[in-house]
């Protein structure tokens, strides 16, 4: 199979070089280019990457604007936002704009490589070590959101169980193990959940789970 094509977008040359070395070290991944935000749309059109690693904070053209432009393309790549902060104030906007995931810049190399593979396969980067703190920081504590609670009323009891675990950052295999289901069944449940919630990806569904009060803080009883 041809390698997964990756474009790295960051305003710092050293960051682009470092990420490129990590991603390019995997035999099934290929870094087809790297650039700053202002060149991103042109590079995506010319190089047709399947995955874009996009810095959320750039001086020439911010990552949210770049993400919005890439999402408007006829065949947009999967985009994961790169951030130094696990509670960046732009996270909420990026979620609504359709980011497929978030990666802290100190993510371990093996996790970064795995994330690119997940994104290329149509998944979203949502793991306890990388994304849970990002979503929690965006959602913040407090009472459940009424709109999110109404959305989740469309779900079956089993779908609510799956959504709650998805909100905790569990993978399909981990959810399957926790609920004693097959991974294929979990995948079907998640597809149904995304459709009912009108969510573009797992990250957006996880935010709904947090807002609806399905994800409890450590020490609290479950739903």
Q: Could you tell me where the beta strands, DSSP code E, fall in the chain?
A: 4-9, 29-35, 51-55, 78-83, 101-104
Q: Which helix (H) or strand (E) holds 10?
A: none
Q: Which residue has the higher pLDDT, 43 or 220?
A: 43
Interval 59-114: pLDDT, tens: 888 899 999 999 999 889 999 988 876 555 676 677 778 888 888 788 889 989 98
Rg (CA), the chain: 17
Interval 175-215: pLDDT, tens: 999 999 999 999 999 999 999 998 877 777 888 888 888 98
pTM: 0.70
Residue with tokens 């959810």: 175
For residue 132, what pLDDT is reported? Answer: 57
Q: Which residue has the higher pLDDT, 159 or 88?
A: 159
Length of the chain: 223
- 219 has a pLDDT exceeding 50: no
């Amino acid at each position: 199979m041809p390698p997964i094509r990756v474009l790295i977008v960051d305003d710092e040359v050293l960051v682009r070089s470092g990420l490129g070395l990590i991603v390019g070290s995997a035999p099934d991944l290929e870094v087809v280019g790297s650039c700053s935000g202002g060149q991103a749309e042109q590079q995506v059109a010319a190089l047709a990457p399947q995955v874009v690693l996009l810095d959320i904070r750039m001086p020439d053209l911010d990552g949210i604007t770049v993400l919005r432009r890439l999402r408007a393309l006829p065949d947009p790549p999967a985009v994961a936002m790169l951030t130094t902060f696990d509670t960046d104030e732009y996270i909420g906007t990026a979620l609504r704009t359709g980011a497929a995931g978030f990666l802290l810049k100190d993510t371990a190399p093996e996790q970064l490589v795995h994330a690119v593979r997940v994104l290329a396969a149509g998944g979203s980067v949502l793991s306890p070590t990388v994304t849970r703190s990002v979503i929690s920081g965006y959602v913040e504590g407090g009472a459940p959101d009424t709109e999110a609670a109404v959305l989740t009323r469309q779900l079956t009891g089993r779908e609510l169980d799956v959504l709650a675990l998805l909100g905790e950052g569990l993978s399909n295999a981990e959810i399957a193990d926790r609920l004693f289901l097959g991974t294929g069944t979990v995948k079907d449940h998640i597809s149904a959940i995304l459709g009912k919630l009108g969510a573009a990806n797992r990250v957006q569904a996880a935010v709904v789970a947090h807002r609806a009060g399905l994800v409890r803080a450590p020490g609290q009883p479950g739903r």
